[in-house]
Amino acid sequence: MDPIRIAVVGMGKIARDQHLPAIAGNRAFSLAATVSPRDSGIEGVPHLRSLDALLEEGPAIDAVALCTPPQVRYDLAAQALARGIHVFLEKPPGATLAEVHALSAQAERTGASLFASWHSRFAAGVAPARAWLAERRIDSVKVIWREDVRVWHPGQAWIWEPGGLGVFDPGINALSIITHILPRPFFLSEATLEIPENRAAPIAADLHFRDTRGAPIHMDLDWRQTGPQSWDVLVETDAGTLKLAHGGAVLTLPSETVRNEDHEYPGLYARFATLVTGGRSDVDVSPLTLVADAFLRGTRLTTEAFFD
């Protein structure tokens, strides 16, 4: 079977650090082109300044990986789907829930595959954590997701704009994990969002959820962490404590610690290849729904101005 000819649209840090190596390491794909109005691309691969130019001038492609900021992703995805081109959406899948639902419906009409990717679900400890929790009683959950925005998103103004999500850009990774591993649905009870006086998106958030049996879930998000970074999930159960550390890479159970090789983006591309060859889509918006609920129901507090 011929490889899937894929173009990477948006050549920022995530594309270069994660998408390009994952594509290169998967024989189901061949990198047909890159697209960016500012980046010069990579040696030996056709580079175009816009998706319009790629679709008009070639080379021919079967799929696109959209690594742009979410605020501009809908039009690009809709344009590709209209031509029957398969679409891989970097997280979050869009700036609004409605546009992602519209893309999902369009993909169904055209027969192209649409993949709303959640890379943290492919962290090494997540699948075994899900399996272990499936037969446990969940008593409480605590999520601590604290990092330094100056380290991970230096100078990225779009992330502070409406649709950029602010601290929920990393926080949605945690939500993608817990919506996947917890055996019951959960929903927001209350939230406090701290928004710098010179920004439109939060720099920190404190969120309280509960699942359908009443188990409390507390989430602490902060972009002002210096020194060691914290990406941890702790689940108290009737069989002891489960801990996912380092963003899901390390799983600690009452009886053992599981450490495996990182395979987030290789796992995403393996999943995308399976969807394309099987003629299916995977569009789970539950993490984005919870973020939208936080903006809908959360109390907003103004905090001191933030400068890179």
Buried b / exposed e over 166-200, threshold 16 CB at 10 Å, is: bbbbbbbbbbbbbbbbbeeebebeebebbbbeebe
147: Cα within 13 Å, side-chain hemisphere: 20
Cα distance between residue 94 and residue 77, in whole Å: 10
Candidates 13, 91, 142, 243; catalytic one: 91
Helix 168-181 to helix 286-297 angle (10° resolution) is 120
Least Cα distance to 119 among 18, 220, 25 occurs for 18
Asked if 26 and 266 count as a contact pair (C-beta separation under 8 A), the reply is yes
Q: Which two tokens stand for residue 239?
A: 């069989």
| Non-local CB neighbours of 40 within 8 Å, separated by 6+ positions | 47
Helix 126-133 to helix 168-181 angle (10° resolution) is 40
Residue 243: active-site member: no
Least Cα distance to 69 among 48, 44, 40, 38 occurs for 38
Cα distance between residue 217 and residue 80, in whole Å: 39
Cα distance between residue 287 and residue 171, in whole Å: 9
- Which residues does the annotation mark as catalytic? 91
